[in-house]
Structure 1
Amino acid sequence: MELPLGDPNTSELKGQISPREIANSDKSSIIATLLAQSSRHLFGPTSAPALPLKHQVVSIDGLISKLGYLKPDEVALIKQAFHFADAAHLGQYRHSGEPYITHPVAVAELCATWRLDASSIMAALMHDVIEDTGCTQADLVGKFGSKVAELVEGLTKLDKLEFQSHAEAQAESFRKMFMAMARDVRVILVKLADRTHNMRTLDAVPMEKRRRVAAETIEIYAPIAHRLGLNIIYRDLQDLSFRYSMPMRFRVIEGAVKRARGNRKEMVEKILQNARMAFAKANLEVDLQGREKTLFSIYSKMRSKHLSFSQVLDVYAFRVTVHSIDECYRALGLLHALYKPMPGKFKDYIAIPKLNGYQSLHTTLLGPSGVPVEFQIRTGDMHAVAEAGVAAHWAYKDGGPDMSEVQNRAHQWLQSLIDIQDSSGDSQEFLEHVKIDLFPDAVYVFTPKGQIRALPRGATALDFAYSIHSDVGNTCVAVKINGMQLPLRSELKNSDIVEVVTSANSQPNPGWLAFVRTGKARASIRHSLKTKHYAESLQLGERLLASALRQQGVDAGLLSPELWEKLLHWTGDKTREEACVNIALGRRSSQELAIRLNILIDDEGGSDQMRLGAADWVSPQQEIASHHHQRQAILVDGREGNSIHFQTCCHPIPGDNIIGYLGKGEGLQVHTNDCQIALRMLSKDSDKWVEVEWGKEVNREFEVDLAIDTRQGKGVLARVASSVTAADSNIMNVSMDDRYKEDAVTIRFTIQVSDRLHLSKVMRSLRANHDVMRVIRVRVS
């Protein structure tokens, strides 16, 4: 899904200053004037008659009233930041008609409810001044210091730059935000406050934009809020996104909940009364509150379990707040004595907290008339964390013994973003990996030493290996789960004990990408494969270019940097390595580059120092006539990796005469020289073919297809297979074609052999079998 870049109420929602207002004035003079006059906004309503929205006075009394936890000098700096932002946004309005400054003030008020520090409040007030006004980061450093300037810069999008596509611009902006967030968690706290206020005021936006912004919010921002434990914001963003992305469904469920509220009021009151009496009788002091589940959570349950609204009975949940962990378990026992618990519906998030640090006891009981009722039991401190998450401990540090559990978990996740960034090739790939990691549910597994690790639900044993360290994942060869050796793709379950077996010679397999779940594992695997593929392609490209230059009578090792610079200017490649990789991938012809280099040498006076001697230079015509083209051919031995592909149409093996084709972006494809597919390609595109020969030492096995006609009979397949294994060959695949008219069957084997001599040995072994009538090597025509 393509998502919009940026926030709807910034560049998309604000109006523009009118020509009359800016006539004969520049931005700096406007800011200077407003800095002198904007103090009037600070002191509440004016006695003047009511003004249109665009001319109403903006007050920050509400913000100041929430800053009692800060020092007076910090509050004074926040007032200065307001004056600066008010001046910078002069003449800019929201679609609602309000002065644009009302938005930063509302964002700052949200941050103040989380008791963020003065720098965060100032950044909230000025979060759009770099992006939407003439102010620069240097201006902010000079006026407010580097910390505030860095926070504002981290909140600034990249839509002033040019990108090839909207999706690329959006992904790069998100990558910038995530990296700023990894350095300082306050960036995302301000950003979430910004997005929350934008969503609360989205009515003024056209319908199409509402849907795009809502999709971006529920896909990126709501999961981030959940991952950081900001559950109030998480629920708010979910419901607002639901409201604007699916307005009809939102209204239907909203109406159904209102009707049910009246029908179930008596039942809710009865449950509250019975629970309070049970706690009072046990002399347990509690705070008992009931609340409705969010509309989005109700809709999600209806959709995932294919239920109608009338079938969703647990619309209400009850929260029990006590003083200590011991009292949490006492309260649980009292509730289980009051109503019967539903089997499998108890979760202890106190002993094992969620990924975001959330702690509570969850239990679902059968209430009056058999209606399921959910209770959440927690302490006051747990409740603060459950509602505000990381924002409840805004004094974020870089890890250490003084950090809370919530801070530690947030720190680990933010550090994983940096690991993903280092392994990702581009911003869109980075965003894809981060989205994978934004899963709210988790499984909890143990290391052999008893350390607990949380992973997204559905994660595999290989994901566990990568969660320990990228190097552990890259060299993983086997895993033991609860003492049993199981495949790497085995899905982990709660309480599994996982042991990883590594080998220094092991490397990531491309097939791993099909089953890993976490963004870190996926990014690490791709990075390793790309690095390996790049090195292999570079080596092949250098060999191809050297061979082509030799045909031109030029020694590749003696080319000067000046010649390479001229050639790169002509090809458009950034480096010599990039040019060679493009040759190996078939994006550029080695012969074309060799001819161009030859011309450049001649233009410089035909330096003899770069020319080969007569004994070394074999012209193309001489090479064709000669049987000794070992010097010109590319040698292959099967160990080149992804840069050379042995094609399945003809399955070349050592001993076959072979040729090479440089397919565009596909590397060097090796065929047998009598392959019908290769011959057709050769007739259409002869300039992409290169000489290829087998190296002297080939230490791997190659696949070959065989068609074996056998007599019908019991146990024939087993006897034929044993003939293959008797010749030291491995069977990779088998299929059978019945031919009842001839009272025979054709068995098709894909086997592994080391060379043509080994293949002959296998075929002799098969022909010696009395069940076998004929054996042929199969080629695709």
Structure 2
Amino acid sequence: MGLRSFVTDILPTTLHTRGRHAPTLVGEPEVETFAQLVDKLGYLSREDLKQVRAAYKFADEAHLGQFRASGQPYITHPIAVAALVADWKLDAQAVMAALMHDSMEDCGVTKVELIERFGSPTAELVDGLTKLDKLQFSTREEGQAESFRKMLMAMSRDVRVILVKLADRLHNMRTMGAMAAHKRARIARETLDIYAPIAHRLGLNQLYRELQELAFSYVHPWRHAVLHKAITRARGYRRDIVERVRSDVDKAFGEARVKVEVSGREKTVFSIYRKMREKHAGFAQVTDIYGFRVVVQSWQECYLALGVLHQLYHPMPGRFKDYIAIPKPNGYQSLHTTLVNPLGTSVEFQIRTEEMHAIAETGIAAHWLYKVGTKSSANPAEVAQTLGAMWLKSLMDIQRETHDASEFLEHVKIDLVPDSVYVFTPQSKIMALPRGATPLDFAYAIHSRVGDHCVAARINGEPAALRAELKSGDVVEIITNPGSRPSPGWLNIVRTGRARSKIRHYLKNLEHEESQALGEQMLTQALRAEGMALPPESAPEGTSVWPTLLRWSGNRNPSELMLDIGLGRKVAAIVAKRLAQLMQEQGQRPDAVTLTLARYAAGGEEAGATPPSLVVVDGSEGTGVSLATCCRPIPGDEIQGYLGRGEGLVVHTGDCGVARRLSARDKELWIPVAWSEEPVRQFDTDVQVLLRNDKGTLARLAAAVASAEADIHHIDMGDEARGETAELRMRLSVRDRQHLADVLRTLKRSPSVLRASRVKPERPPG
């Protein structure tokens, strides 16, 4: 079709930055009447058109008397959304859902009513597009996150939900001029963060570019205006270069007798702005503003065309990408190469077939538009749903393990990163991961069990850290151990939402199990002080008191009550007193032996005996019981336990200043704890060392620590200037206080060490 003009093909020549109009990449006139919409629906059958007309009448009556901020009748918006859906040749149900997408949210129409009049599939589409505004949320962000979560779950069942939603968002972005500036900025930011990346993830690149461009013009109107003017000026300056390249390309393909269609394309303002930000470059340094698209008949001719272009101009090293052999996760396929023409300007070429071009521009919607790659009997909705299956499966996995809507939205945003790296399993299977992904992400992408038991990784046959950043082409091998479990530190390593949600889910379950056991232990001990034994839920005495106690506490079952006690949300002594009262009302009496034992335990120190502690710490505790980082207790220290509200049990040393301040504020949250006689692991403690700043000092220091059978986890030398002496702080792993004393004696014997001591916990002021 020849090279089209850059001025008319890509961007409008005018830009209004104050909201009256906004730049668009699609130059079709706005559809405002149902008659104009019908003109676009010629692909539907007569029966389908009859149903669409009924849906229009229903929506028109529902929105009667409603107006948009611009003053137009509200029905013009659903009509415009339906027209965008019709451009993708979606079926009648999707068009009907587009016409009625606001009827449940704004007009009080019920889902049951829609099912009765238009059938369940259409009603489900409309329901998936409806926000949860009728429910009460603590913040706007929480409500938005929950509504977004609902929409994505509906999308996982039917991909048409997100297509209609994206059409809705596009029309809203095109017509936001009448809104207040702060609302425009908020909606535009949401579009940049969520909806444009979703469009990209689903391969809707034309829509993706326009959403980005519109959002950028509202978030940064002056930057957009300045860059737009610069691009307009550059068109004039580079017209001769474009004409020269076009002439050379046409001549080269003519001589090679390769039938091609060449079209020009220009980067959007936002993509140029993003490249300037990424490369910290000015507009003059962004050379590949213009590019060419070469469309051929078959994938074999793609590589033939590539050879013709590489013979014509010199290719730039490292700027060739083969997305035909390794497609992007959204199905995009093309060859990309950047060439340097005789005038010294770099020009990017994209080479693809007609089918590849259809998918590149409209992604999953191409399967309604062109029936790409399908037989005539294939259902385009099923084909499109299959294309998005990998990401949708990831969404469902995250949904199952994430109960908080804001956390779910956070995971989805992570997975919407457009850039990807392509790595291989040892069996040569290709996997796409977000840029910056680690071997842990790779492990969880294979299977959650592989991730949970991951202990090490090899990249290209060489051992690698779990936090190593993967690069395209890497062959990754994961080494597992059945005894290995996820750690909280993994959350700082992983990049994908799937891996993050799996790790959080495991840690939460572990925390709940441990906190529940701790809560039951605490309630048993507190009830013993009342002279009572904790009744089993299934015992006769338990069946009579537990329902009443749960109504009083507001918990659904005893396990939830134990969890609240273990996490510090409820005080064990208060619950025990209420439970004892209920048991006495049922005719039970305090047991003298139990009461005597409890009193003896409470007064054991006066009697010269050691009181049985409520919790024994041996180092095997997980997230339910933790050691305070402010004082880092080790076996041999006097310790006390603080039941933080929602944090589980935190163990402090007896002389910790932080603990004393907490004790003065919440005395009832402290419980007795003691060390086990046989701890199962080593414990971290901080040591401060003053040493001579001689050559080899650190090596001698490390050797002294190793000879004392301790491990160094961290060394901090601060920012002091180099002098004769240096003070450093080490985090050591020791068995107990006696072992620490041995380490300190060994350090002091070193000629390089002037002073060594344990870092004391903070003292309370006064």
* Structure 1 length-normalised TM: 0.85
Residue deviations 1:478-534, cap 9 Å, x none?
111100110001100111000111111111111111121111111111111111111
How far did residue 305 of structure 1 move? 2.6
Residue deviations 1:643-701, cap 9 Å, x none?
22223455433344432222333322323445565456545543332221223442111
CA contact (8 A) 1:210 1:244 kept: yes
Q: C-alpha distance in 2, partners of 1:632/1:570?
A: 29
Give the alignment of 1:484-633 within 5 angstroms. 484-558=462-536, 560-602=542-584, 604=585, 606-608=587-589, 613=594, 616-618=597-599, 622-623=603-604, 625-628=606-609, 630-631=611-612, 633=614
Which residue does the alignment assign to 1:730?
711
Which residue does the alignment assign to 1:246?
220
Does the residue aligned with 1:370 lie in a helix, a strand or coil? coil
Does the residue aligned with 2:318 lie in a helix, a strand or coil? strand
Which residue does the alignment assign to 2:404?
426
Q: 1:140 and 1:506, CA in 2 relative to 1: closer, same or farther beyond 3 A?
A: same
Q: Alignment partner for residue 455 of structure 2, among 450, 474, 477?
A: 477
Which residue does the alignment assign to 1:194?
168
Which residue does the alignment assign to 2:267?
293
Which residue does the alignment assign to 1:449?
427
How far did residue 476 of structure 1 move? 0.7
How far did residue 73 of structure 1 move? 1.7
CA contact (8 A) 1:393 1:407 kept: no
Does the residue aligned with 1:194 lie in a helix, a strand or coil? helix
Q: C-alpha distance in 2, partners of 1:710/1:753?
A: 21
AA of the residue aligned to 1:752 = S
Give the alignment of 1:53-452 within 5 angstroms. 59-394=33-368, 408-452=386-430
CA contact (8 A) 1:738 1:746 kept: no
Q: 1:535 and 1:87, CA in 2 relative to 1: closer, same or farther beyond 3 A?
A: same
Does the residue aligned with 1:618 lie in a helix, a strand or coil? helix
Q: 1:675 and 1:431, CA in 2 relative to 1: closer, same or farther beyond 3 A?
A: closer
Q: C-alpha distance in 2, partners of 1:762/1:90?
A: 82
Q: C-alpha distance in 2, partners of 1:707/1:61?
A: 81
Residue deviations 1:544-577, cap 9 Å, x none?
1211111121212356244344334444444433
* Stretch of structure 1 that moved more, 348-357 or 716-725: 716-725
AA of the residue aligned to 1:238 = Q
CA contact (8 A) 1:465 1:476 kept: yes
How far did residue 707 of structure 1 move? 5.8
Q: C-alpha distance in 2, partners of 1:632/1:661?
A: 14
Which residue does the alignment assign to 2:13?
none
Q: 1:259 and 1:704, CA in 2 relative to 1: closer, same or farther beyond 3 A?
A: closer
* Stretch of structure 1 that moved more, 557-566 or 585-594: 557-566
User: Please, what is the CA RMSD of the aligned residues?
Assistant: 3.2
Aligned length: 718
How far did residue 731 of structure 1 move? 3.4
How far did residue 251 of structure 1 move? 2.2
How far did residue 450 of structure 1 move? 0.5
AA of the residue aligned to 1:652 = P
Q: C-alpha distance in 2, partners of 1:329/1:630?
A: 82
Q: 1:313 and 1:550, CA in 2 relative to 1: closer, same or farther beyond 3 A?
A: same
How far did residue 540 of structure 1 move? 1.2
Residue deviations 1:24-62, cap 9 Å, x none?
xxxxxxxxxxxxxxxxxxxxxxxxxxxxxxxxx974233
Q: 1:777 and 1:518, CA in 2 relative to 1: closer, same or farther beyond 3 A?
A: closer
CA contact (8 A) 2:531 2:590 kept: no
* Stretch of structure 1 that moved more, 150-159 or 717-726: 717-726
Which residue does the alignment assign to 1:13?
none
Q: Give unpaired runs (5+ residues) of structure 1.
A: 1-56
How far did residue 625 of structure 1 move? 3.2
Residue deviations 1:704-753, cap 9 Å, x none?
445678899876765565454344333334568999xxx99887654333
Residue deviations 1:242-273, cap 9 Å, x none?
22222222222223333333333333233222
Q: Alignment partner for residue 660 of structure 1, among 638, 641, 657?
A: 641
Q: C-alpha distance in 2, partners of 1:671/1:195?
A: 53
How far did residue 95 of structure 1 move? 2.4
Q: C-alpha distance in 2, partners of 1:674/1:251?
A: 63
AA of the residue aligned to 2:445 = S
Q: C-alpha distance in 2, partners of 1:621/1:300?
A: 67
Residue deviations 1:119-158, cap 9 Å, x none?
1111111111111113211111111111111111111111
Residue deviations 1:161-208, cap 9 Å, x none?
111110100100110111111111110011111111111222222222
Which residue does the alignment assign to 1:10?
none
Q: C-alpha distance in 2, partners of 1:651/1:331?
A: 66
Does the residue aligned with 1:669 lie in a helix, a strand or coil? strand
CA contact (8 A) 2:324 2:335 kept: yes
* Stretch of structure 1 that moved more, 476-485 or 306-315: 306-315
How far did residue 580 of structure 1 move? 2.6
Matched, 1:669 2:650: yes
CA contact (8 A) 1:227 1:438 kept: yes
AA of the residue aligned to 2:588 = S
CA contact (8 A) 1:554 1:612 kept: no
Does the residue aligned with 2:455 lie in a helix, a strand or coil? strand
Q: C-alpha distance in 2, partners of 1:738/1:375?
A: 51
CA contact (8 A) 1:319 1:377 kept: yes
CA contact (8 A) 1:554 1:611 kept: no
CA contact (8 A) 2:528 2:594 kept: no
Which residue does the alignment assign to 1:462?
440
Does the residue aligned with 2:463 lie in a helix, a strand or coil? strand
How far did residue 629 of structure 1 move? 5.3
Q: C-alpha distance in 2, partners of 1:162/1:562?
A: 35
AA of the residue aligned to 2:439 = A
AA of the residue aligned to 2:565 = I
Q: C-alpha distance in 1, partners of 2:222/2:636?
A: 70
CA contact (8 A) 1:322 1:379 kept: yes
AA of the residue aligned to 2:457 = V
CA contact (8 A) 2:159 2:384 kept: no
AA of the residue aligned to 1:163 = F
How far did residue 613 of structure 1 move? 4.5
* Stretch of structure 1 that moved more, 255-264 or 380-389: 255-264
* Stretch of structure 1 that moved more, 568-577 or 146-155: 568-577
Identical amino acids, percent of aligned pairs:
52
Q: 1:282 and 1:716, CA in 2 relative to 1: closer, same or farther beyond 3 A?
A: closer
Q: 1:544 and 1:121, CA in 2 relative to 1: closer, same or farther beyond 3 A?
A: same
CA contact (8 A) 2:423 2:471 kept: yes
Which residue does the alignment assign to 2:735?
754
AA of the residue aligned to 1:321 = V
CA contact (8 A) 2:411 2:498 kept: yes
Does the residue aligned with 1:90 lie in a helix, a strand or coil? coil
How far did residue 322 of structure 1 move? 0.8
Q: C-alpha distance in 2, partners of 1:593/1:294?
A: 64
* Stretch of structure 1 that moved more, 371-380 or 675-684: 675-684
Which residue does the alignment assign to 1:700?
681
Q: C-alpha distance in 2, partners of 1:429/1:412?
A: 20
AA of the residue aligned to 2:578 = R
Which residue does the alignment assign to 1:21?
none
How far did residue 284 of structure 1 move? 1.4
Q: C-alpha distance in 2, partners of 1:177/1:74?
A: 26
